[in-house]
Amino acid sequence: MSDPLRLGIAGLGTVGQGIVRIVQTHAALLEARAGRPVIITAVSARSRTKNREVDVSDYAWEDDPVALAARGDVDVLVEVIGGDNGPAKDATEAAIRAGKDVVTANKAMLAHHGQALAELAEDAGCVIRFEAAVAGGIPVIKALTESLAGNEIRRVIGVMNGTCNYILTRMESAGLPYEEVFEEANKLGYLEADPNLDVGGIDAGHKLALLSAIAFGTQVDFDAVELEGIGSITIEDIRHAADMGFKIKLLGVAQMTGRGLEQRMTPCLVPGTSPLGQLQGGTNMVVLEGDSIEQIVLRGPGAGMGPTASAVMGDVMDIARGLRLPTFGQPAATLKKARAARAAVAAPYYLRMQLLDKPGALAKVASVLGDAGISIDRMRQYDHGEDIAPVLIVTHKTTRSALDEAIAALPATRVVQSEPVAIRIEAV
């Protein structure tokens, strides 16, 4: 019989316990599929006495995850602590320096330090696998690095934060304002300790940066991701979008353009009949477009004990079977530093603004848009009060830079009474 693959689990929160449960419940199945036993030899967490849903008493205990990473009876460090620095990063580096492979669910750590960690691992002959870091149980990293390795990837697009999708779809279905659904999501435990990681687009931006690196052969550059959260989306925006046949999603888009790599995690309108438009609740969806495959759609649970632990174990099983790939699908030394491009690809935009209800107001707005080279596709005016008129404009295709120029010029008209809301309409 082949030697067992020995795991050290760093972190016994929801995901860590899910991994322990899979190893304990499916030991025979894992051995049959890997051709060798997969066992846990040691664990580490902040509290040894905390009540947990799984029994870890048979495993060696380390208070320090760095000590866990250095143990002689650990072949693979499974890091599910979280955080871009601190114990997670220290333990990961210690494992690599000790010649051990690493499986992690830590998107923040890789988004900020992915290139350096990939170089460290490859120089040491180790691998870092991170399927669980992006879109939970959806095997999108495996799809990019393996199944679609013969494609030139044209675009990556998707809903990558289930909490934001829950908030937006709940606002629509219940007719509730953002603030009320935000509090509801918080009480249900859907939000991170720092809610801005979710609703500000940061969590999903980390994921997009990792997918971009794999898809386009570039160094991870989270700082170049254009981020805009969902806090400015109103129930009126959702209703207006629905009237036109669209849904609003926090959408990640990455594509290589003539000006550079465009990476953005921003609210967008998508056709209501599209797979992304029909996505409900906390589910994630990633759409991959390649020159040979054209388009594939991957949909599934983006978080939770079972889905995330499943993704971790998929990586563990690959290592057990002897599959060893570079961290981002190609040697780290060959990854290019991409030039960042901000919304370089033209698209139509949704514009909502409050205008003074007086003759010539719309003409002034249309003149400003025209001066920026933006033409109007359609326009609607909704019920309004005595002095203020809510106006909705959908433009023909334009660039974000042209739109920003127009928005900056609107206050000079003295008819716009609030900061305009601009949302890109994405073709999917």
- Of the residues 89, 100, 107, 207, which is catalytic? 207
CA distance 208 to 288: 12
> In 3-state terms, what secondary structure has residue 12?
coil
Contact call for residues 214 and 141 (beta carbons, < 8 A): yes
The tally of CA atoms less than 13 A away on the side-chain side of residue 205 is 23
Distance of alpha carbon 151 from alpha carbon 339, whole angstroms: 22
71-89 in b/e burial notation, b at 16+ Cβ within 10 A?
beebbbbbbbbbebeebbb
Residues forming a β-bridge with 189:
none
Question: What are residue 267's phi and psi, to 5 degrees?
Answer: -65, 140
Q: Using CA atoms in the order 19, 24, 27, 29, what is the torsion angle rounded to 10 degrees?
A: -70
Residue listed under structure tokens 């007086």: 358
Q: Tell me how far CA of residue 381 lies from CA of 155, 362, 376, in angstroms.
A: 35, 10, 14
* Neighbour tally for 238: CB within 10 Å: 22
Q: 362-401 burial, b for 16+ CB within 10 Å, e for fewer?
A: bebbeebbeebebeeeeeeeeeeeeeebbbbbbbeebbbe
Q: Is 364 tagged catalytic?
A: no
Report the b/e string of 3-24 with b at 16+ CB within 10 A. Answer: eebbbbbbbbeebbbbbbbbbe
What percent of the chain is helix, strand and coil (3-state, nearest 5)? 40, 25, 35
Other Cβ atoms within 10 Å of 279 Cβ, number: 22
DSSP string, 170-200: HHHHHT--HHHHHHHHHHTT-S-SSTHHHHT
What is the token pair recorded at 319? 């290592």
Residues with catalytic roles: 207
